[in-house]
Amino acid sequence: MRLKALAQLWSRGLPGGLGWADVLHEAIVRVLDGSRVWPFGVPILAFLSGVMRSICDDYWRCVRREQRLLVSRDGQGQGSSSADPIDELADPERVAVAVAGLAEVMRLFAGDPVVLKIIDGLANGLVARDICRAYGISALDYDTARRRMRRTLLRHQPNWSAP
């Protein structure tokens, strides 16, 4: 159940009909064929979650690369050597999904100031230690809030399907 929830989380909004089951199965295949080695001491859920995230990131990278080949600034199509505007601008559909997801996250945690501080810190690219220091949060409160965030997000995640 947890692997399914993690696969759904990572694969949300993937184009081309690639679903959560495909991502989960590909992660398992990569572990079994030895192309991804499970490090000693790493929990299996954390490891497979990382593999699934990597698969989804690679897929998005390929999609963006294909779009760059098809769309160029000067309209010449493939082979343009100039920088493409698509490099700098996110896909409008992905932006809409991200905005809707962020609005839902903010709604879910509106009454939790510690979680909102953590979200703000993460949005600013801070790591846990820096978030605790910047917002005056203890390590214990940080860890507790992150567990609360994860449980809440996993509980509400099925409502965030892509348009």
Q: Given CA atoms 11, 16, 18, 19 in this order, what sign does their dihedral have? A: positive
Q: How many other β-carbons are positioned within 10 Å of the β-carbon of residue 56?
A: 22
What pLDDT is recorded for position 35? 85
Q: Tell me the average pLDDT across 27-39.
A: 87
Confidence of residue 161 (pLDDT cuts 50, 70, 90): very low
What pLDDT is recorded for position 55? 86
Burial 10-24 (b: 16+ CB within 10 A, else e): bbbbbeeeeebebbb
What pLDDT is recorded for position 138? 93
Measured CA to CA, the distance from residue 153 to residue 142 in angstroms comes to 16
Tell me, yes or no, if the pTM score tops 0.85. no
- Structure confidence by residue, pLDDT tens digits, 86-127: 444 556 666 676 777 777 788 888 889 999 898 888 877 788
Measured CA to CA, the distance from residue 123 to residue 19 in angstroms comes to 27
| Percent of the chain whose pLDDT exceeds 70 | 73
